[in-house]
Amino acid sequence: MPLSRSFTPRLLLVAVLTYALACAQYAFADTAALLIENARIVSTTGVSEPRDVLIEAGTITEIGPGLRPSVAEKGVRIIDAEGRFLSPGLIDSHVHLMGVPGESDALPAEVRDQALAQIPKSYLYFGFTTVLDLISADEPMVQWNNQALAPTAFHCVGVPIPGGYPMAWLPQEEQLASPIADYYLYDENQPALMAATPGSEQHKPKALVERIASTGARCIKTFYETGFGRLRNLPVPSLESMKALIREAHKHHLPVFLHGNSRKSYEFALEAGVDLLVHGPWHGVSASDAEALEALAEKVVQAGIGVQPTMQVIVGERELFSPDFFARPEVKAAVPSALRQWYQSEAGQWFVQNMSHGFGGPDEPHLHDKVHAAMAKPIGGVQAFTRALAVANGDLVFGSDTPSGPVYTQFPGLNGHQEIQHWASQGVTPPQIFAALTVRNAELLGLAETLGSVAEGKRADLLLLTDNPLESVDAYDSIAWVIVKGVPVERSKLAAN
Ligand SMILES: [Zn+2]
């Protein structure tokens, strides 16, 4: 990896800059203080009596009844909540922040620029004030967080094995020179696989995790994926190497996520003792395996492993074939009109065309029905597994996988909104969903001291809602204000239309 080595001093500089910028951002986010009066604070234990919440320099500094007289002199901006519900901002711990979903070289530059400007607002529109990019590095996070109005982004570092997923998407000669190879795992138990890998010392678990931790990563993303589509028979990490990686990661308090969506990957996760399974087990299962799925859910719960079911990964693909998708009001709120038009053009339909070849081609008269029939089994499987986890009070961790590929139906913000609806439709209760969207994700990120609840000393990333999210997830459609690092923004100003 001569490329990555030559960048080391730059990476150090970036780390220093990251810290400096983060400090500057919090200090100057909003100099005017804000008082939210008469708000009923939502927490995992219920809803409070009306309270006043004082926010100064982006932080909640005081909560109590009758704060107005004590701040009257300070020139504080006041929002009367009139008994509405004040919730912590939502956290989506599975996004990918690069680019525009489903774009191609044919996307006109001005439409792309407009879309990139809207994407952070679309996250905020649906209530997401914090996002976790599962495969990234420090520099893109600095760039993202420099935007004037955006959810705060954190990152995980992706750790593939050479030739494995997701590196295998690239042509072989480009794999080791790509950024994803900067942190590949040197798997000592698979010497043949490692034969062509230079710089192996810095890829052994101890040195590798030290390098990852120094980027400010909140987690490590690993993969157990034998392939799909044109990728087949991909190598996967050995159990011993995965265990060694997890041991080193835990010394640095970094949780280890495993991409896995098959029964086999779930068995691997259980043996290795990962912290989080990313994706439901939709390969090789169906809803008719209810007993087997319940048993698997029970094992995962016993092992204390969290799960991101990411139902919208498959439902979103199915929605590519729904003719009414672009007419939905929530889609219009998320996606700028010029981009919506491009998606519906011949050029914008490139991925739909590609996918349709698996179902008889774009001219197949029963395309829609064929797609629905093919996806019924994996969707049914992950739905049944999610139901079983909810009943067993398992560790459901909210992450939407936005986007999971070039899939425009998985548009930022909208995709999380859809995933919330899917959870609710499978019987995950509104309080379970609220906890997964707030405190649980804050804990996962190691940020529970600053995020995840409405409390003094925490960052003022908040939502003011007309309805109570502990009663129904439809409450997330009733957001009136989004408070971003102490700055109140009316929800309507965040919409694309
Ligand atoms: Zn993903």
359 assigned to some structural domain: no
Return the pLDDT at 11. 40
325 Cα: distance to centroid of ligand 1 (angstroms): 22
* 146 and 242 together in one domain: yes
Phi then psi for residue 37, to 5 deg, are -95, 150
Residues contacting residue 378 through CB under 8 Å, at least 6 positions apart: 282, 283, 285, 286, 314
* 38 and 187 together in one domain: no
* 77 and 144 together in one domain: no
50 Cα: distance to centroid of ligand 1 (angstroms): 39
Q: How far apart are CA 166 and CA 259, in angstroms?
A: 10
417 Cα: distance to centroid of ligand 1 (angstroms): 16
* 314 and 271 together in one domain: yes
135 Cα: distance to centroid of ligand 1 (angstroms): 8
Residues contacting residue 93 through CB under 8 Å, at least 6 positions apart: 131, 132, 134, 308, 397, 398, 399, 441, 444, 445
209 assigned to some structural domain: yes
* 103 and 207 together in one domain: yes
Return the pLDDT at 8. 36
Reading the chain (497 residues) residue by residue, the pLDDT tens digits are 233 333 333 344 444 444 444 433 433 344 689 999 999 999 999 999 999 999 999 999 999 999 998 887 778 999 999 999 999 999 999 999 999 999 999 999 999 999 999 999 999 999 999 999 999 999 999 999 999 999 999 999 999 999 999 999 999 889 989 999 999 999 999 988 888 787 789 999 999 999 999 999 999 999 999 988 888 899 999 999 999 999 999 999 999 999 999 999 999 999 999 999 999 999 877 778 889 999 999 999 999 999 999 999 999 999 999 989 999 999 999 999 999 999 999 999 999 999 999 999 989 999 999 999 999 999 999 999 999 999 999 999 999 999 999 999 999 999 999 999 999 999 999 999 999 999 999 999 999 999 999 999 999 999 999 999 999 999 999 999 999 999 999 999 999 98
Termini Cα distance of the chain: 45
Last residue of a domain, one of 427, 444, 461: 444
313 Cα: distance to centroid of ligand 1 (angstroms): 9
377 Cα: distance to centroid of ligand 1 (angstroms): 21
* 296 and 392 together in one domain: yes
* 232 and 129 together in one domain: yes
3-state secondary structure of 410: helix
Token representation of residue 209? 């995790």
* Virtual torsion, Cα 251, 255, 261, 263, nearest 10 deg: 50
Token representation of residue 108? 């006109």
Nearest to 387 by CA among 429, 340, 443, 436: 429
* 195 and 270 together in one domain: yes
134 Cα: distance to centroid of ligand 1 (angstroms): 6
334 assigned to some structural domain: no
301 assigned to some structural domain: yes
402 Cα: distance to centroid of ligand 1 (angstroms): 7
* 52 and 137 together in one domain: no
Last residue of a domain, one of 405, 426, 444: 444
59 Cα: distance to centroid of ligand 1 (angstroms): 31
Instruction: With beta carbons less than 8 A apart as the criterion, state whether 88 and 55 touch.
Output: no
CATH of residue 59's domain is 2.30.40.10
* 196 and 286 together in one domain: yes
Instruction: With beta carbons less than 8 A apart as the criterion, state whether 390 and 426 touch.
Output: yes
481 Cα: distance to centroid of ligand 1 (angstroms): 29
Residue 249, Cβ density class (10 Å: 0-12 exposed, 13-18 middle, ≥19 buried): buried
265 assigned to some structural domain: yes
Helix (H) or strand (E) holding 26: helix 8-28
* 40 and 176 together in one domain: no
CATH of residue 280's domain is 3.20.20.140
Q: What range defines the domain where residue 296 resides? A: 90-319+365-444
DSSP 8-state code for residue 201: G
353 assigned to some structural domain: no
Nearest to 161 by CA among 136, 137, 189, 140: 189
Domain count, the chain: 2
339 assigned to some structural domain: no
* 37 and 150 together in one domain: no
Q: Please, what is the Cα angle at 485 between 455 and 137, to 5 degrees?
A: 110
204 assigned to some structural domain: yes
HSE-up of 196 (CA within 13 Å, CB side)?
A: 11
77 Cα: distance to centroid of ligand 1 (angstroms): 40
Phi then psi for residue 88, to 5 deg, are -60, 150
Residues 254-267 as b/e (b if ≥16 CB within 10 A, e otherwise) read bbbbbbbbbbebbe
